[in-house]
Chains A and B, each alone.
Chain A
Amino acid sequence: KAGVTQTPRYLIKTRGQQVTLSCSPISGHRSVSWYQQTPGQGLQFLFEYFSETQRNKGNFPGRFSGRQFSNSRSEMNVSTLELGDSALYLCASSLATGGPGTQYFGPGTRLLVL
């Protein structure tokens, strides 16, 4: 099976702009989680979607949002970008049936905000 894919792999934006990142899960996986990775804060959970519904949300401002489509693909959006949003954004997918499942990670999208 193909692994989790994320597009684009790299992005450069300026403050105040918005950005949309995309994640395609492993075939058959219905849960998609998003994480932000920075040198200072490490890996932090953003949100998780299952069957097009957000089930879990981390402690990030409302500028960070996401959605999931019927084919389980997911997008996350960051509006009004700030310099501190520069990070590696990872998505992970899991089967999520019968209990917490193993999450499989994508390669990430590296976002630089200037």
Chain B
Amino acid sequence: AQRVTQPEKLLSVFKGAPVELKCNYSYSGSPELFWYVQYSRQRLQLLLRHISRESIKGFTADLNKGETSFHLKKPFAQEEDSAMYYCALQPGTSYGKLTFGQGTILTVHP
């Protein structure tokens, strides 16, 4: 069975500071990993997935298979980054089933 852990329930930073949201996973196979974001009063939306190797809104995430981590990083946080962030795993052989972490509420102070 797979599991996703986001150790920080709450994370506060000041505008312009670097931010890192941690995500650790356990899964024996090759997973697909995602970061989803939910802004206030908006639906859950994809931020990025590891296979794309993209930088979205300044965020990046690197899959570290040795440490089984997929931390989300941004060098300079903005107030509009304040939101709930979910790390999610999809087994490579199991379509349509995402396992989510508990989420991290990021607050960026002015």
Which A residues have a C-beta under 8 Å from some C-beta of B? 3, 31-33, 35, 42-45, 48-50, 55-56, 58, 90, 92, 94, 96, 99-108
**A91: shortest Cβ distance to chain B, in Å?**
11
Give the distance in Å from the alpha carbon of A58 to the alpha carbon of B32 in the complex: 18
Chain A proximity mask over B75-110: 1 for CB below 8 Å, otherwise 0:
000000000001000111011111111110000000
Interface pair B44/A90, CB less than 8 Å apart? yes
Minimal beta-carbon separation of A59 from chain B (angstroms): 10
B48 to chain A, nearest CB (A): 10
Given A43-B86, A100-B32, verify A48-B43 contact (CB < 8 Å): no
Interface size class, chain B: 20 to 34
Kindly report which residue of chain A lies nearest to residue B38, judged by CB atoms: A105
* Chain A residues, Cβ within 8 Å of B101: 42
Residue of B nearest to A103 (CB): B98
Contact sample, A vs B, 17 pairs, CB 8 Å cutoff: A33-B98, A43-B86, A45-B97, A45-B98, A48-B96, A50-B96, A58-B97, A94-B96, A96-B95, A99-B92, A100-B90, A101-B95, A102-B46, A102-B49, A103-B46, A105-B44, A108-B43
Asked if B34 lies at the interface with its beta carbon under 8 angstroms from chain A, I say yes
Further 12 A-B residue pairs, CB within 8 A, beyond A56-B95, A105-B45, A107-B43: A31-B95, A32-B96, A43-B100, A50-B95, A58-B97, A90-B44, A92-B98, A96-B96, A100-B92, A101-B95, A103-B96, A105-B43
